[in-house]
Amino acid sequence: MREEIQKILVDEKELDAIVTRIAGEIDRDYRGRGKRLLLLCILKGSVVFTGDLMKKLTIPVEIDFMKVSSYGAGTTSSGTVNIILDILRKDLDQCDILVIEDIIDSGRTLAYLVDYLKLKGANSVKTVTLLDKPDRRVVDFEPDYIGKIIPDEFVVGYGLDYDERFRELPFVGVLKPEVYEK
């Protein structure tokens, strides 16, 4: 294991079980609906989760991407959401959107995105998060599908970064405080 990692919080086996469970729930809830099911991956952290999830779904899906920023540098939330890459397709009224996140912290990003996508005319908007830190919530927001509720620790891996590092780790681990307190 990398020396910067204090402990593994969600190992590969548990991640696989979580993704399998959520894929089953989505299959069950969306099978036979008349609209296009659009997995909306929120860059960059959700890339790994979205890829694994779509492989386990048995119903037809499409994918698209948005990039927003809710964090400044380091570990604190700036409190604003900026759209850096928007969704360009024009047929959102034909789409049931599932916004895919790696983690919910303050809740600002998803609360904002759900409103934004509804205003853009999506047929429906629901949210999926691999990890949820309810202790950090600033705005009232509940996702529709949750992988795992975790304590307020600085986690990296499986897409999640610290200063763009550690996204490639196949597990979710807790970062040693000395790495980000330097």
Q: Which residues form the interface with ligand PRP (CB under 6 A)?
A: 42-45, 69-71, 77, 101-109, 161
Minimum CB distance to ligand PRP, residue 174 (Å): 16
Minimum CB distance to ligand PRP, residue 130 (Å): 9
Nearer to ligand PRP, 52 or 105 (CB): 105
Rounded CA gap, 69 and 85, in Å? Answer: 10
List residues bridging with 128 in a β-sheet. Answer: 100, 145
Nearer to ligand PRP, 79 or 177 (CB): 79
Minimum CB distance to ligand PRP, residue 36 (Å): 23
The residue from 64, 105, 132, 135 that is catalytic is 105
Q: Do you find a cis peptide bond into 148, omega within 30 degrees of 0? A: no
Strands 5-10 and 77-85: unpaired
Nearer to ligand PRP, 58 or 69 (CB): 69
List residues bridging with 99 in a β-sheet. Answer: 40, 127
Minimum CB distance to ligand PRP, residue 149 (Å): 14
Rounded CA gap, 25 and 71, in Å? Answer: 30
Residue 10 · residue 122 · CB < 8 Å: no
- Closest residue to ligand PRP, based on beta-carbon distance: 45
In degrees to the nearest 10, what's the CA dihedral of 7, 9, 11, 17? 170
Strands 77-85 and 62-71: antiparallel
Nearer to ligand PRP, 20 or 69 (CB): 69
Known catalytic membership, residue 140: no
Catalytic residues: 105
